[in-house]
């Protein structure tokens, strides 16, 4: 995969990522919908060590339905959601695919938490859909 780059809307926080992206998914859970203000979150998970962040995102922590600590990273100036972390996936960081400069590199491999998706959201045929997060 080519190097990924991106930034928040105001440019205060940017990143470069170079490495494997083992997980690319759309998450339809309520927390992802609320934190993005969108019908679902588009996420690319990579090893945290493969991502160089310039600037300091603000963070917000909350508990997931499975009891993990979820940490949302966002720009404190423009509010752009940038990254997410799950305490049960140590060493991984989720990049919100909407902020990458190489959108052609995002191809979702799964839809998760479709049990809480919005009724108007149409799922693409051929992409596996899971009621919750697969184990």
Burial of 106 (0-12, 13-18, 19+ CB in 10 A): middle
Structural domain includes residue 110:
yes
* Positions of the chain with pLDDT under 50: none
Q: What is the pLDDT of residue 21?
A: 92
Indicate whether 59 belongs to any domain: yes
CA distances from 81 to 17, 19, 109, 122, 135 (A): 17, 21, 21, 23, 26
Structurally, the chain folds into a number of domains equal to: 1
The verdict on pTM exceeding 0.85 is: yes
- Please, are residues 2 and 106 in contact by the beta-carbon 8 Å criterion? no
- pLDDT computed for residue 1 by the predictor: 61
| Any domain includes 127 | no
Measured in whole angstroms, the distance separating CA 91 from the mean position of its chain's CA atoms is: 15
90 belongs to a structural domain = yes
* pLDDT for residue 101: 96
CATH number, domain of 106, equals 2.170.150.70
Q: Classify residue 39: in a domain, yes or no.
A: yes
> In Å, what is the CA distance from 48 to each residue of 39, 88, 89, 131?
26, 14, 11, 27
Range of the domain at 71: 4-116
The whole-number pLDDT of residue 102 equals 94
Judge whether 53 lies within some domain. Answer: yes
């Amino acid at each position: 995969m080519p190097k990924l780059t991106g930034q928040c809307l105001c440019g205060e926080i940017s990143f470069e990522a170079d490495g494997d992206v083992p997980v690319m998914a759309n998450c339809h859970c309520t927390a992802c919908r609320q934190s993005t203000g969108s019908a679902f979150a588009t996420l690319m998970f990579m090893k945290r060590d493969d991502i160089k962040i310039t600037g300091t995102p603000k963070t917000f922590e909350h508990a997931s339905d499975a009891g993990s600590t979820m940490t949302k990273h966002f720009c404190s100036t423009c509010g752009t959601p940038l990254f997410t972390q799950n305490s049960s996936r140590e060493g991984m960081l989720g990049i919100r695919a909407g902020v990458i400069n190489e959108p052609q590199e995002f191809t979702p491999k799964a839809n998760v938490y479709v049990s809480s998706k919005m009724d108007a959201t149409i799922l693409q045929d051929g992409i596996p859909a899971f009621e919750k997060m697969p184990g």
